[in-house]
Amino acid sequence: AASRVIASRVKCNPISFDTFSKWVNDPAFIDQLKEAAKDPKSTSSLKLLNKLNVHIKSCTSRIPFTSSQRAVSLSNLIGMRYMFGLPSIFFTYAPDDVNGTLNIRLSLPQKDNNNFPADGTGLSEAIQNNVAVFQEIPITPHHLRFLLAKGPLAAAEIFRLLTETVFTTLLGTPTEHSSKKTVPLPSRSFGVFGVPIASFGCVEEQARGSLHLHVVYWGSLPCQLLQNSAIYPELLCTVTKAI
């Protein structure tokens, strides 16, 4: 994604890229970076950052999972609010990555295709039964957290796969990078909250580095109707059936 975005920027604005290229190849630029690294919050460092942003900000904002893309996505959320009204559902999705058997197996070196960790038979049962060691690998809660910290790529990849499944299968709103096709409302399949209209998610990190997702969802019944109906027990069954 980064390569495609940069290539597009170079073709559309060659003057900017040429200016940036000459600047970064100047020996004085390296000295400026070293000084900025010593004190990132100094006035000179902030000026250097602003000078860099002119050339790179529009690129990084289109690269998935960057801080710039997250900042730009706020305007998308505001636009969805104006387009669809207030979302009807808010939920947090936080998978149990410590006890996730697949990311544990992916964090370990593969020996062959027939034995552990390629074959995870019995691992789930061993964790559930609080077994201390499985296939010569310590699997106490402490050791599982340590193993997960050593294999962050596996944990992130499993989180991505689970997240795309949640959006596609449970909510009925595939993620933006996984599907470019817009399906008309009458043709959409029901999700867990009814007919899906749209959804917006934000990935955050917990203190220990594991990932979780906050989601707002448009679909089912409008949030004002849900809120006004909640105080009438007679309407709750009707609302439940409608969802």
pLDDT band at 223 (very low <50, low <70, confident <90, very high): confident
pLDDT digits (tens, 9 = 90+) for 92-126: 988 888 888 888 888 888 888 888 898 989 998 99
Per-residue pLDDT at 57: 67
Percent of the chain with pLDDT over 70: 96
Do 184 and 129 meet the contact criterion of CB atoms below 8 Å apart?
no
Residue 204, pLDDT > 90, answer: no
Going by C-beta distance under 8 Å and a sequence separation of 6 or more, which residues neighbour residue 97?
A: 103, 148, 155, 158, 159, 210, 211
Q: How many Å apart are CA 189 and CA 42, to the nearest integer? A: 54
Stated pTM of the model:
0.66
Q: How many Å apart are CA 80 and CA 71, to the nearest integer? A: 15
The encoded tokens of residue 110 equal: 């593969």
Per-residue pLDDT at 58: 64
H-helix or E-strand spanning residue 91: strand 89-93
CB atoms within 10 A of CB 210: 20
DSSP assignment letter at 166: I
Per-residue pLDDT at 99: 83
Q: How many Å apart are CA 82 and CA 188, to the nearest integer? A: 22
pLDDT band at 181 (very low <50, low <70, confident <90, very high): confident
* Side chain identity, residue 53: N
Domain map (residue ranges) of the chain: 1-63, 77-224
H-helix or E-strand spanning residue 202: strand 196-205
Q: How many Å apart are CA 138 and CA 130, to the nearest integer? A: 11
Per-residue pLDDT at 153: 85
* Burial bucket for residue 115 (CB in 10 Å: 0-12, 13-18, 19+): exposed
Average pLDDT over the chain, rounded to an integer:
84
Residue 155, pLDDT > 70, answer: yes
